[in-house]
Amino acid sequence: MLEPSTARNKYAPCIAACPVHTDTRQLAEFITEGEYEQALELLLDANPFSSVCGRICHHPCEQNCRRAKVDAPVGLMKLKRFVMEATKDYRISRREKPLTIEKRNEKIAVVGSGPSGLTAAYDLVKMGLQVVVFERLETPGGLLGHAIPRYRLPYSVVKEDIDDILSAGVELRTNQEIGKDYSIDNLFNQGFGAVLLASGLSESRTLNIPGIDSKGIMLALPFLKTVLSPWPPVLGKRVIVIGGGNVAIDVARSARRLGAEMVTMVCLESRDEMPGWKWEIEEAEEEDIHIMTSWGPKTVFSENESVKGMELKKCVSVFDSDGHFNPQFDDSVNRTVLADNVIIAIGQRGDLTCVKGGNLKINPGERLECNQETLSTSREGVFVCGELLIGPASSVESVRDGHRAAKAISHYLEKGELLKQPIMELPTLEDLPDETAEKIKKQAPVTIELLSPEIRLKEFAEIERGFTEKEALAEARRCLACTTGALADEEKCAACLTCVRICPFGVATVEKTAAMPEEKCQACGICAAECPAAAIALKRFSTDKMKEQLQRVLDSSTRDTAARPLIISYCCLYEVTSRKFIFEKSESYRKSGIHIITIPCVARLSVPDILLPFERGADALTIIGCSEGSCLYPTAEERLLRKIHQAKQVLEEVGVEAERIDYWKTESSAEVSWTAFWEISKRKLLQIKNKE
């Protein structure tokens, strides 16, 4: 379980909102630092279906991002996708690393290879247990592999995630249908110590209205499954899709791609009540899908047993005063829509075939009896997770329950008892106050244009590309790094008011000692660099990291063997548009004596930080800040210039030339201007040396 990132026990809302609590804030930081592999480890640690979630997650992180109050949320889902795409080779190579955990003898059977079942299987294998996953279809993935259209989620992406899991030692048996090829009793007889039901809601619900058995009527999941097969369904020109949820939208958009010209979605809900995600609805409309809201199906009419259209009745309300689904119609208001096909997408239910011979209790409404906290069923040793447990859910919620199921089963096998795991809401950082939001520099989000609807409709190719590296770095920089702000050490604070006087966001206060209210602090670090008592530290960026880097640089080139002169260059990390630039430049420049240390905002440098390279034997220091107008923090450059001035004075007091410190502003980008700055600094230093 992720620890709260501050002493005050509050989480960034993006992290708290994610069902698996992915540390999205740290993700943005790793990306900024070019540490894509570390970002991958972080993602996979929280969610083995990170490639999938980088494409189709409903991203509650973004919906809760505090940056929304400034301009727009950070594009965290696309950042995740970027990491997954940037580290493909590394991901494959890490599969070779053997698990170090001691093997346990217990065997677990998992029924279903969707995101929850496979997550549980993966976790259990990592705990040393032996796991067999039974899948009734030919390939694994559940609805990810057999329902979600490829324009949203290519199968290769699902496979990336599943390959990790299988290579960890999870055994997969396909074409194995429970209730037909095997039963729960069989599994126990074969020596499995526990069974996990993770077969999801794999059956589409249907309607009971006149004419529903006409030819040309289909159910959503079988339809979507056939769409993905080599023999996609043949549709007429006019198609009605019944339903207003995300599955209905997948169906409608797939129908358009299969050649249907007039696709109409009909749903009971009003536009605001539609359960489909807003962005999915908008994309559907771009593809000329007509949405009829507040209409319910009345009859299907047909000719020669084939569908010809539907009669609809006006739906006046969907939910009753208690919020329960209880649609009310006005039978006198009707409308007729012509159609060659009708596809029903009004929800899914579990296939409870597995219960046959399994001695499992089923509750009214065809729901398996189970405990939401222990994930247990009415039969000992049989557990449940995913949509069978919680009803219709997103992929990431299924992953969360996979994690919970693994813990529940491991605990049961070890202790013989059930483990309670209630889903708890994490305490989050308060909203950004208006007065702070106003002071934060606006930065438009990096947006990716979708393919034009005309091109999209020609095939099932993915409609959205991922971020380029440059785009990802720009977007990651937008993260406000919530909860990583300044923390004052009360014991050291002298209440000198320096922080109050220099905070560019008006955040710091001093009563008895300094305080930087977490909901306001922007983690710029200016107070930490200036505090005369060294009482302020930042979670996000402590100069310790920089000192370690500097020490490594100097250790690797001890005074005698190093290329001379030795120049250290502190550079603003935010100006780099590819990590390759930094890594390769660092390498080539090191040989000529220039050592690059990137820092997320050089305004965070204190006077001791600026002096440190000289103390450790460097001949000169070149500081490169961001380009004109691009710094995120007001007054940062002015403060830096004052600190450089102070450091220069110190040098002069001990007889070292002040010109050994150089300051440059990036021009256009790091790639364009930094090399020139280093060359100039080097020449300047040679002149100083010649004078000696």
**Please, what is the minimum distance in Å from the beta carbon of residue 60 to other proteins?**
42
Taking the complex as a whole, how short is the minimal distance between the CB of residue 592 and other proteins, in angstroms? 23
User: 531 or 571, CB closer to other proteins?
Assistant: 531
Query: Rounded to whole angstroms, how far apart are CA atoms 528 and 604?
Result: 8
Residues 311, 301 contacting (CB under 8 angstroms): yes
Chosen residue from 99, 423, 494, 680 binding other proteins by CB under 8 A:
494
To other proteins, the closest distance from the beta carbon of 533 in angstroms equals: 5
| Options 122-130, 162-170, 550-558, 648-656: segment touching other proteins (CB under 8 A) | 648-656
Q: Determine which residue in the list 656, 659, 669, 673 makes contact with other proteins, applying CB under 8 A.
A: 656
Cα–Cα distance measured from residue 665 to residue 667, given in angstroms and rounded to the nearest whole number: 6
608 lies in the site for other proteins, by CB under 8 A: yes
Report in angstroms how near the CB of residue 491 gets to other proteins at its nearest: 8
For other proteins, which is the closer residue by CB, 137 or 533? 533
**Please, which residue, 494 or 676, has the CB nearer to other proteins?**
494
Q: How far is the CB of 6 from other proteins (least distance, A)?
A: 23
Contact in structure between 225 and 348 (CB atoms under 8 Å)? no
Please identify, using beta-carbon distances, which residue of 413 and 651 lies nearer to other proteins.
651
By CB under 8 A, name the one of 651, 661, 670, 685 that touches other proteins.
651
Residue 102 tokens read as 């001691």
Q: How far is the CB of 660 from other proteins (least distance, A)?
A: 10
Among 292, 496, 537, 641, binds other proteins (CB under 8 A): 496
Q: Min. distance of Cβ 411 from other proteins in angstroms?
A: 48
The DSSP code sequence of 103-135 is P---EEEEE--SHHHHHHHHHHHHTT-EEEEE-
CB 333 within 8 A of CB 350: no
Q: How far is the CB of 508 from other proteins (least distance, A)?
A: 13
State in angstroms the smallest separation of the CB of 527 from other proteins: 12
Answer whether 219's CB lies under 8 Å from 206's CB. Answer: yes
Neighbouring C-alpha atoms within 13 Å toward the C-beta of 341: 26
The CA distance from 120 to 386, in Å, is: 10
Q: Which is nearer to other proteins, 145 or 613 (CB)?
A: 613
Pairing between strand 194-197 and 382-384? parallel
CB 244 within 8 A of CB 270: no
The whole-angstrom separation of Cα 437 and Cα 451 is: 34
Please give the structure tokens belonging to residue 579.
């990590």
Q: Which residues pair with 3 in a beta bridge?
A: none
Judged by beta carbon, residue 25 or residue 639, the one nearer other proteins is: 639
The residue behind tokens 């069902």 is: 19
Q: Is 69 helix (H, G, I), strand (E, B) or coil?
A: helix
- 197 vs 493, beta carbon nearer other proteins: 493
Which range of residues in 38-46, 491-499, 516-524, 664-672 is near other proteins by CB under 8 A? Answer: 491-499
Give the whole-angstrom CA distance, residue 518 versus residue 482.
Answer: 8
Evaluated on CA atoms 344, 349, 353, 354, the torsion sign reads positive
564 lies in the binding site for other proteins (CB under 8 A):
no
> CB of residue 494 vs other proteins: minimum separation in angstroms?
4
In angstroms, give the least distance from the CB of 611 to other proteins.
4
| 655 belongs to the binding site for other proteins (CB under 8 A) | yes
Q: Report the relative pairing of strands 203-204 and 348-349 from DSSP bridges.
A: antiparallel
Q: Per rule CB under 8 A, is residue 544 in the interface with other proteins?
A: no
Q: Rule CB under 8 A: choose which of 7, 234, 444, 654 binds other proteins.
A: 654
**In angstroms, what is the minimal distance from the CB of 617 to other proteins?**
7
**CA 640, CA 172: separation in Å to the nearest integer?**
59
Three-state secondary-structure class, residue 530 = helix
> Judged by CB, which is closer to other proteins: 18, or 529?
529
Structure tokens at 306: 């084939």
Give residue for tokens 């922080």: 499
Using CB under 8 A, which of 615, 668, 683, 691 touches other proteins? 615
DSSP labels for 58-76?
A: --HHHHT-GGGGTSS---H
**Comparing C-alpha atoms, which of 123, 169, 166, 124 is closest to residue 141?**
166
> Looking at 209, 450, 563, 650, which residue binds other proteins (CB under 8 A)?
650
Question: Contact at 8 Å (CB) between 358 and 388?
Answer: no
For residue 565, whether the previous peptide bond is cis, meaning omega lies within 30 degrees of 0, is yes
| Closer residue to other proteins in complex, CB, 207/607 | 607
Of 212 and 650, nearer to other proteins (C-beta) is 650
Site string for other proteins, 499-538 (x = CB under 8 A): --xx---------------------------xxxxxx---
- Where in 351-390 is the site for other proteins (CB under 8 A)? none
The residues binding other proteins (CB under 8 A) are 492, 494-498, 501-502, 530-535, 606-608, 611-612, 614-615, 617, 646, 650-651, 653-656
